[in-house]
Amino acid sequence: MKRINWNALDEAARNDALARPAQARAEELRRGVERIIAEVCANGDAALRELSARYDRCSLDAIEVGEAEFAAAEAKLAPELKAAIREAAARIEAFHRAAAPQPVGVNTAVGVRVERILRPINRVGLYVPAGSAPLPSTALMLGVPARIAGCREVVLCSPARADGTCDEAVLFAARSVGVHRVFKLGGAQAIAAMAYGTESVPRCDKLFGPGNSWVTEAKLQVSADPNGAAIDMPAGPSEVLVIADALANPAFVAADLLSQAEHGPDSQVVLVSPSAALLDEVAAEVDCQCAQLPRGAIAQQALEQSRLIEVESLAQAVEVSNRYAPEHLILQVSGARELVASIDSAGSVFVGAWTPESVGDYCSGSNHVLPTYGYARSYSGVSVASYLKQITVQELDPNGLRAIGPCTATLAAAEQLEAHRRAVTLRLAALGISL
């Protein structure tokens, strides 16, 4: 990991220090995704089968997972894994149900009622990766809030293995949280199928979930097309920033850094501390722990893009974190709760030495589908609100129009929108009021 003294850097060097690994939309990738989307739009299911054979090296008889496959998946899983999936789902539901938006009604003047009503997005598409490792936890994170929101149809795509089947844990998790239909599709072709529809895959209104660069590019392209589908958020590789003080446990800090580094070679991990000794200890501990990991080679590649940043104080560490806007922020400092008030840009915050980021990935109850690549400055993680349309309603009686009509007419005249003004003044005239 690259060692940096923050206060020895000028502004340009600080920008470089917090730069993410380059994620340029390479022309070859963009065109490749365009071709895949065009193939799916033109040839539907036939294209999905051909693309699955080409990229996932599997032959699909049936694109959709059938009841027998769900049953076989449940029978094959160990009881303790099924229990853990149900346990995690219950905690995710408890938090998301409590945090869900609520309808609102306010009288803003006498005779003027303004409301916000909530309606679920009718059909949503969830993407659950299964590249180097299947992610049943993502099925939970996406499926639970969709169920709470009451989406009429929840569709899920996850890549098939070489034998044409999906990961058993992903199927069990999907069925456990009420996903209605699951398709054995991965990559850009799965995004295209859910965005535009095929003979088998229904067209979805909004797409959710993480994925590789091809999936991310496909989501960006379909969201830019008026005939495509909305998406949850822009996304990039997984990342974590840890703020630690001199009293932090170096082994804990190193483990947290590596838990994100093992996601992929383009992941990034950052440690910010006012303690030079702690930075030294963590660097040594990272090397030791990384050598013991099954995915150590992947983590090692990520560490090449990672940083150890020395600052003068915890207050400055928070400034660095807010500037970076991490997907995950871990506060391994004494009095960690006191720092939370100063955090204004982070996808999810983990407070104190006993709160590893891993619990948020699986079963604390929060959501692990979070904005990355600095998008935490303006985006939030997936929640029930992500699956809802918030519609405002207003109703006036004659007294209400008397109360706010003159204000409306004055503002319409200032904007030189005469038809707007007359829509009010004609009604006021009918009530015997002349402006």
Residue 267, marked binder: no
Does residue 189 have a known ligand-binding role? Answer: yes
CATH number of this structure's domain 27-100+119-231, picked from the four choices 3.40.190.290, 3.40.50.1860, 3.40.50.1980, 3.40.50.1970: 3.40.50.1980
328 is in an annotated binding site: yes
**What is the pLDDT at residue 387?**
98
pLDDT of residue 23: 58
| Predicted local confidence at residue 173, as pLDDT | 98
Tokens, residue 294: 């099954």
In the residue annotation, 328 being an active-site residue is answered as: yes
Give pTM, 2 decimals: 0.93
Residue 387 counted as an annotated binding residue: no
For residue 224, CA distances in Å to 247, 253, 377 come to 48, 40, 21
> What distance lies between CA 141 and its chain's CA centroid?
9
Beta bridge partners of 130: 134
Residue 249 assigned as binding residue: no
Residue 119, beta-bridge partner list: 389
User: Helix (H, G, I), strand (E, B), or coil: what is residue 153?
Assistant: strand
Residue of 96, 310, 328, 357 marked active site:
328
User: Which of 164, 203, 173 has the alpha carbon at shortest distance from 40?
Assistant: 203
420 labeled binding residue: yes
The confidence score (pLDDT) of residue 20 equals 87
Helices (H), 56-182: 67-76, 79-99, 136-149, 168-176
Distance CA 179, CA 320 (A): 40
Helix axes 168-176, 136-149, angle to 10 degrees: 20
The distance of Cα 193 from the centroid of its chain, to the nearest Å, equals: 20
Task: Determine if residue 285 is labeled as part of a ligand binding site.
Answer: no
Structure tokens at 306: 């990672």
Which CATH number does 2-23+236-365 carry?
A: 3.40.50.1980
Q: What averages of pLDDT result for each successive group of 10 residues across the chain (435 residues)?
A: 95 94 76 97 97 93 95 97 97 98 97 98 96 87 98 97 94 97 97 98 97 91 97 89 98 97 91 98 96 94 94 98 97 97 97 97 96 94 98 98 98 98 97 93
Query: Which residues on adjacent β-strands are paired with residue 179?
Result: none
Q: Is 127 among the annotated ligand-binding positions?
A: yes
375 annotated to a ligand binding site: no
State how far the Cα of 52 lies from the Cα of 184, in Å rounded to an integer: 9
327 is catalytic: yes
> What are the boundaries of each domain within the chain?
2-23+236-365, 27-100+119-231, 397-430
- Per-residue model confidence (pLDDT) at position 25: 61
Q: Please give the backbone phi and psi of residue 134, each rounded to the nearest 5 degrees, phi first.
A: -70, 150
Q: Do the annotations mark residue 55 as ligand-binding?
A: no
Q: What is the predicted pLDDT for the residue at 273? A: 98
φ/ψ of 207, rounded to 5, equals -115, 145
Selection from 210, 199, 176 nearest residue 81 by Cα: 176
